[in-house]
Structure 1
Amino acid sequence: MTDTNSPDDGQTDQSVADRLKSQVRENRTGMVGDLVFAVVWVTFASLLYDFVFPTAPRWVLYMFMLAGIPAYFGFFISVEMAKQSQ
């Protein structure tokens, strides 16, 4: 089911650009953190593949990239746990 604005929401119809701006404004720090993690992970995986395992088959690079998914969740879950323990 799609997420649409119904007249009962109390919101006026917004353009896609307005909705995008409000989404970015509300989630700015989270989006920046996600982007930084993605750039660092891809850089790390590419350097590892190019310099540490230069003779490895191409699927190894894809596995490094795929390993970024659990690494992402593990990193941000551990950050949240650290924040809660303070």
Structure 2
Amino acid sequence: MTDADQIDESDADESLADRVRSHVEGNRTGMIQDLAFAIAWVTIVSLLYDFLFFASPQWVLYMFMLAGIPAYFGFFISLKMARAQQ
């Protein structure tokens, strides 16, 4: 979903650390956005489940967590559309 630069194929002589470093350099902004969204989503869902839906069965928590997948794509697609309109 993020706008990452095309990364070259890895060389046979390149170490694992070099490949990881190359991947992180090419996708740094997207990885930070993904991590921030995941932390925010899990925090909000956990707080909702602990304080608002405390009497609910545990599968409700799992459904809320699973709802994070379409929420993630919906958020970043709408963000991309808003940036395109500017």
TM-score between the two structures when normalised by the length of structure 1? 0.85
Please say if residues 10 and 19 of structure 2, whose CA atoms lie closer than 8 Å, have aligned partners that are also in contact.
no
Give the match for residue 3 of structure 1.
Answer: none
Alignment of 1:67-82 (within 5 A): 67-82=67-82
Q: Quote the Cα distance in structure 2 between the aligned partners of 1:58 and 1:34.
A: 25
- Runs of 4+ residues deviating >3 angstroms: 9-12
Structure 1: state its 5+ residue gaps.
1-8
Give the match for residue 26 of structure 1.
Answer: 26
Structure 2: state its 5+ residue gaps.
1-8
Aligned length: 78
Q: Tell me the secondary structure at the aligned position of residue 27 of structure 1.
A: helix
Instruction: Name the structure, 1 or 2, with higher relative contact order (CA <8 Å, separation 6+).
Output: 2
Q: Percent identity among equivalent residues?
A: 64
RMSD (CA atoms): 1.5
Report which of the two structures shows the higher radius of gyration computed on alpha carbons. 1
TM-score between the two structures when normalised by the length of structure 2? 0.85
